[in-house]
Structure 1
Amino acid sequence: MNGMLFPELYKSLESVRWDMERDIPWDKFDASKLSDEQAITVKMNAITEWAALPATEMFLRDNRDDSDFSAFMSVWFFEEQKHALVLMEYLRRFAPQHVPTEEELHAVRFPFDPAPPLETLMLHFCGEIRLNHWYRCAGDWHTEPVIKHIYDTISRDEARHGGAYLRYMKRALSRHGDAARAAFAKIGVLMASARRTEKPLHPTNLHVNKDLFPNDTVQSRLPDPEWLERWLDEQIRFDGSWENKVVDRILHNMSILFEQKFATAQELNRYRKTVTARLASEQDAAANA
């Protein structure tokens, strides 16, 4: 279909789709292995997954000229909301006092300011890699069998979503050349340098609406805005070894995308500077032509 990616991505994602009733071993639940503290973290993750709703609204608004990518959003949005739903179903069955209210879910639906589509694409690609690792780490922390299975299941979805975003990034390189390289490298450096920042960088904790600042991150609108750092640092203990896995995956994929090896964020940053300089000289030449 004229090089559209959506038909193929739909087919591949559909072929591995899991069923909430059949594929989650609800009957294996062990009440002795779920604490109140753990149930609350499930609630918070359900709410953050619900934030795919405003993210989808942003993607559709900012990609009006790209119907292929916008169509893919139908699958991404469906699967992300399904993640929220399976976490809420777990709570409904086993810890109903912690099921998020409709008001708590709706609080994370707010408008995101328009942003450059290529940078946003790369940001969400990195976000899927990070979420895949967060959920794998969370699965290791939990001891209750059903929630372990759920985190494993949704972490695999996040990895597949990252792969789909990568396909659109490859297409962007062929369409936009250095403009796409510069955008992807810029966000890649930011995300691969996360270990040197005060907090983990993910779409849920970046500021996205100037008029609502500082209450303009998904995290700031959770029932407990301090939860994410506590979950990562004190509960699931997403430490330096896990962070290194995230950075390695980002650099590995950037190496594939740009067809040259990046072992560190610094190497990627040097590449970014080269591309940015080349882009600037091309723009100068065009302006003076």
Structure 2
Amino acid sequence: MLYPEVFGTLEKLRWNMAKDVPWNRFDPALLNDEQATTIKMNAITEWSALPATEMFLRDNRHDSDFSAFMSVWFYEEQKHALVLMEYLRRYRPDMAPTEEELHQVRFEFDPAPPLDTLMLHFCGEMRLTQWYRRAAQWHTEPVIRHIYGLLSGDEARHGGVYFRYMQQAIERQGDEARAAFAKVGVLMTSSGRSSKPLHPTNLHVSAEFFPQDTIQSRLPDPDWLEHWLDKQIQFDTSWEAKVVNTILIKLSNLFGQSFEGVKDLNRYRKQFTQPAAIAAS
């Protein structure tokens, strides 16, 4: 069981919103409307941890250990939304998200294989770690730069915990877990072939609400994410390479293989699909 150790580790590293954010360093000259808008959109996006947690608990009723970890993940992710909203409340209250804007991103996700979802969110945390690092560099106002640094550290730790549950899944479910993780890994490292950012908040999750069934599609500005990445924080190919390389290194360690690129991972994935294809023929 991982939850007791995970809880203790994250408890020691947890930052305090009152004590660890340098609110007194705020410089109003370094916050403009464009920057405030991105903070609002990030706050609403972080609020989507609520429906994600509901999904995780529903689809992992068989796994009390992982479900218990959701209590920590949910708390820390909702605190991300809260600290961004607190920043706006203090310095740009006119830009703070409304309760209705927050509620728009709460809707029921379709059931999905738990192993696929676990891998998807591991990759999402690895990507968000780098997005927030880049956001901290793009912003000029010192308080929000510090906040994005805190958020990036949290996302990296969350990814580390997801990875431990992936290791546990390999031990317990063997090739079933390897197949699921390799399949989603290929998807999430194939950014060169994708026309949109590869993150859980930008993927379709509900047939009922399609096409408005991604988190990003339900924001006040559905096109915000691409603009934020491409035009504002300029998350270019060198930054994307950091994400892909991190995922490939972690999967190399997980599978005991060496993946230099997505093609290597895809070749590994195919070894789990070929037997099924032969049996079906």
Query: With structure 2 as the length reference, what TM-score do the two structures score?
Result: 0.98
Indicate the residue corresponding to 1:15 in structure 2.
12
- 1:87 aligned counterpart, secondary structure: helix
Report the alpha carbon displacement of residue 90 of structure 1 after superposing the two structures with TM.
0.4
Q: Report the residue type matching 1:242 in the other structure.
A: W
Among residues 178, 196, 199, which one is paired with 1:199 in the alignment? Answer: 196
Task: Tell me the percent identity.
Answer: 69
Is 2:279 the counterpart of 1:274?
A: no
- Distance in 1 separating the partners of 2:147 and 2:233: 16
Indicate the residue corresponding to 1:138 in structure 2.
135
Is 2:56 the counterpart of 1:63?
A: no
Q: Answer yes or no: is the 8 Å Cα contact 1:128–1:158 preserved in 2.
A: yes
- Distance in 2 separating the partners of 1:255 and 1:276: 19
> Aligned pairs, how many?
280
What is the root-mean-square deviation of aligned Cα atoms in Å? 1.1
Higher mean displacement: 267-276 or 164-173: 267-276
- Distance in 2 separating the partners of 1:278 and 1:177: 15
- 2:208 aligned counterpart, secondary structure: helix
Indicate the residue corresponding to 2:44 in structure 1.
47
- Distance in 2 separating the partners of 1:279 and 1:166: 27
- Distance in 1 separating the partners of 2:192 and 2:80: 27
- 2:62 aligned counterpart, secondary structure: coil
Among residues 245, 249, 254, which one is paired with 1:252 in the alignment? Answer: 249
The gaps in structure 2 that reach 5 residues or longer are: none
Q: Report the residue type matching 1:34 in the other structure.
A: L
Report the alpha carbon displacement of residue 139 of structure 1 after superposing the two structures with TM.
0.5
- Distance in 2 separating the partners of 1:259 and 1:150: 36
- 1:156 aligned counterpart, secondary structure: helix
- Distance in 1 separating the partners of 2:192 and 2:63: 34
List, as ranges, runs of 4+ consecutive aligned residues in structure 1 with deviation greater than 2 Å. 275-281
Indicate the residue corresponding to 1:213 in structure 2.
210
Is 2:245 the counterpart of 1:234?
A: no
- Distance in 2 separating the partners of 1:280 and 1:22: 57
Q: What per-residue deviation string (whole Å, max 9, x for no partner) do you get for residues 124-164 of structure 1?
A: 00000000000000001001000000000010000000000
Q: Answer yes or no: is the 8 Å Cα contact 1:178–1:279 preserved in 2.
A: no
Report the alpha carbon displacement of residue 276 of structure 1 after superposing the two structures with TM.
2.6
Indicate the residue corresponding to 1:120 in structure 2.
117
- 1:81 aligned counterpart, secondary structure: helix
Report the alpha carbon displacement of residue 274 of structure 1 after superposing the two structures with TM.
1.1
Indicate the residue corresponding to 1:190 in structure 2.
187
- 2:87 aligned counterpart, secondary structure: helix
- 2:268 aligned counterpart, secondary structure: helix
- Distance in 1 separating the partners of 2:94 and 2:259: 48
Q: Compared with structure 1, are the counterparts of its residues 106 and 93 closer, same or farther at alpha carbon in structure 2 (3 Å cutoff)?
A: same
- Distance in 2 separating the partners of 1:267 and 1:11: 37
Higher mean displacement: 194-203 or 113-122: 194-203
- Distance in 1 separating the partners of 2:193 and 2:232: 21
Q: Answer yes or no: is the 8 Å Cα contact 1:195–1:240 preserved in 2.
A: no
Indicate the residue corresponding to 2:94 in structure 1.
97
Query: With structure 1 as the length reference, what TM-score do the two structures score?
Result: 0.95
- 1:212 aligned counterpart, secondary structure: coil
